[in-house]
Amino acid sequence: MKRVIRSIFYAGSALLCIFTVSACSWHRGGPESLIQYVENPVHGLQKAVAVGPCVFTFQYKPAAYIISMEHHLDGTSEKDRLRALDSMVWFNVAVRVSGYNGSPLKYDAQSMAVYQARLNYYLNDARRDFYLTCGPDSLAASSYWFEDNQGLTPMATMVVGFRLRHAATVQHDLTVAYYDRVFRSGIIKTMIKVKDINALPKGHQS
């Protein structure tokens, strides 16, 4: 019996150590750990919304996350990049079709003309279908581009940015909305809470 109790104690201690190391690793592990933290839905900065055949994934991108993805920047470039990101809120919005391995632009497209119309929409028109609510402000997208992957992956990703009116950093919960015209899913909304943004390590909350 003592052996069993001792084994349980050691196993529990080992698990506690693993948990502690895991919890601290993103603080100490550099850019890769920050990226993993931001992209983990548990932390509230990535939200997925399923509507009909589609899943829309909204990834909030704090400035430190964006810089961590841009590995080529040196110290001086990072400071300039941070200044450029002041007062901006950025999201990646990815669309995929559940159970479908091809590009969503090709899903149920009856002709090349349908595919081209979808591509043209994502390249040129989707920007006007985004808005962001932040406190008392309702904001239209100020920056947008579409990551055209030539149909090689099962996701279509839109990168959308909003300029805050009254602050350099986020002070309120963010509600981002997208009106899906391609798959007629209606208005898709999700919220990123300011408490989850502020839960990032000090200096990474912007």
Question: For the residues 192-200, what does the mean pLDDT come to?
Answer: 96
Tens of pLDDT along 68-78? 887 655 555 76
pTM metric for this prediction: 0.80
Q: Is the confidence at residue 108, as pLDDT, over 90?
A: yes
Q: Is the confidence at residue 109, as pLDDT, over 80?
A: yes
The confidence score (pLDDT) of residue 79 equals 74
Question: For the residues 8-33, what does the mean pLDDT come to?
Answer: 45
What does each C-alpha distance from 84 to 52, 59, 63, 67, 206 come to in angstroms? Answer: 38, 20, 10, 11, 12
Quote the mean pLDDT of the chain: 83
Question: For the residues 23-33, what does the mean pLDDT come to?
Answer: 54
Of 156, 157, 168, 147, the C-alpha closest to 63 is 168
Range scoring the smallest mean pLDDT among 154-163, 176-185, 196-205: 196-205
The confidence score (pLDDT) of residue 55 equals 98
CB 165 within 8 A of CB 132: no
| Cβ partners under 8 Å of residue 50, min gap 6 | 56, 98
